[in-house]
Amino acid sequence: MSGGLLRLRIGRSSLRAEAVERGSVTWAGAASYGELGELADAIARLAAEPPRACRRLTVALERPPVQLRALSDLPPVKPRHLAALVAQQAGRFFRKNGQPLVTDAAWVGKGAARVARAAAVEEPLVEAIVAGARAAGLWLETIAPADVAASLTLLPRTERESRARVARRRTRKLAVTAAAMWVAAAALCFTRLAWERRAVERELAALAKPLAAVLDARRELRDAETTLSAVTAAERERGRSLRVLAAVTGALPDSSVLTSLAWSADGSGVLVGAGQRAGDVVARLDRLGTLVGVRLGGPVMREPIGGREWERFTILFGRDEGRGRRDGS
């Protein structure tokens, strides 16, 4: 909390005040009180006197009214349990004078020299201080014993409970706020994911037709490539067939007639014709080199054609069959 700080030092019947801004004392004043009701009024009057209004208040209690003790016979409990132990046995360590006490304690020193530094003050006194701070519009930061190094706080029980409730409400509010922020973030995340998904679906729908067109074009291109390959292969085989036919017709002797020629791409085929000597035709075709495995495909039939004896023959050729024939199989 920003704003000037008002420091009060309260004794049995008097109080002194200092206004502090940025570490420097800018004003000082004093007042006296007789009863606790006058203490609250005195605090309010002093808070109104500084040239610049203060927003915060710290209170240091002199001895008396505060009671201080050094306790060395306490069990070695944890620091957070020490204050509760002293509060439960306040009548044993402090004078009560018929009034409830506000106490606090802290460990001082280490090892065997460690002792508990305890403080106590009558609760109506600190209640009056709280009432005076509230009437002056000041935020009471702490009430502590004056000139004590140990960190001791003597806020009344009602003020501690009030601050604890405020802290719990603040914690709950922060938790609710954090949960709401997480829920909002999750909702925003899911909303964005849904929007992104719809955007992607729209893009896919928009790309569906162009993609189908591209796929169709690729299929047509593959079909055209296949057709072109087939045409090229056919042209190549056609040229080869013409070369074979030209070579065969050129190799035949004049005294022979070719009636049919069947030829396949693997180099095998059947040649049917007639000539004066079938063996001469086989020899010429074998010397040609274009055909392999040239041999007669059966017995030679002699028949008269044009008043002359001709031998009708069937000649087979092919790599596998030719190898078998040449090997004598």
User: Domain holding 81: CATH number?
Assistant: 3.30.420.380
Strands 14-21 and 24-32: antiparallel
Percent of the chain whose predicted confidence (pLDDT) is above 70: 93
Q: Does residue 173 lie in a domain region? A: no
- pLDDT score at 323: 42
Residues 139 and 279 both lie in one domain: no
Choosing from 155, 183, 199, the residue where a domain stops is 155
Task: Determine the pLDDT at residue 306.
Answer: 66
- How is residue 232 written in tokens? 């090229």
Low-confidence winner among 135-139, 182-186, 253-257 (lowest mean pLDDT): 253-257
Question: What's the number of domains the chain is made of?
Answer: 2
Output the six-digit token pair for 320: 């596998």
- Residue 234, domain member (yes or no): no
pLDDT at residue 129 above 90?
Answer: yes
pLDDT at 322: 40
What lies within 8 Å, CB to CB, of 314 at 6+ separation is 270, 271, 272, 296, 297, 298
| pLDDT at position 276 | 74
Residue 32 sits in the same domain as residue 150: yes
Give SS3 for 175: helix
d(CA 235, CA 229): 10
Residue among 132, 122, 136, 121 nearest 33 (CA): 132
DSSP tag of 254: T
**pLDDT higher than threshold 50 for residue 207:** yes
Number of C-alpha atoms within 13 angstroms, CB side, residue 23? 0
Greater confidence (260 vs 16) lies with 16
> Residue 1: its pLDDT value, please?
55
Higher pLDDT, 318 or 329: 318
Burial of residue 295 (CB within 10 Å: 0-12, 13-18, 19+) is middle
* Angular region, 199: left φ>0, alpha ψ -120 to 50, beta rest: alpha
Q: Quick one: pLDDT at residue 327?
A: 42
Q: Which two tokens stand for residue 135?
A: 């009437």
* pLDDT for res 193: 92
Give, as one character, the DSSP assignment of residue 290.
S
On the question of pLDDT at 265 being above 80, the answer is: no
Q: What is the per-residue pLDDT for 320?
A: 55
pLDDT band at 324 (very low <50, low <70, confident <90, very high): very low
The 10s digit of each residue's pLDDT in 277-316 is: 778 778 878 777 777 778 887 787 787 766 677 788 888 8
The pair of structure tokens assigned to 73 is 């016979």
Question: Is 121 in contact with 61 (CB distance < 8 Å)?
Answer: yes
Contacts of 95 (CB under 8 A, 6+ apart): 67
| Burial annotation 209-218 (CB, 10 A radius, 16+ → b, else e) | eeeeeeeeee
Domain that holds residue 88: 4-155
Above 80 in pLDDT, residue 245? no
Which of 68, 104, 100, 114 shows the shortest CA–CA distance to 83? 104
Q: What is the CATH number of the domain that holds 289?
A: 3.30.70
Q: Are residues 137 and 21 in the same domain?
A: yes
Determine the pLDDT at residue 325: 41
Query: 31 with 149, same domain?
Result: yes
119 pLDDT band (50/70/90 cuts)? very high
- The three-state secondary structure class of 240 is helix
- pLDDT tens for each residue of 61-117: 998 899 999 988 888 888 889 999 999 988 889 998 888 999 999 998 887 778 899
Mean pLDDT taken over the chain: 85
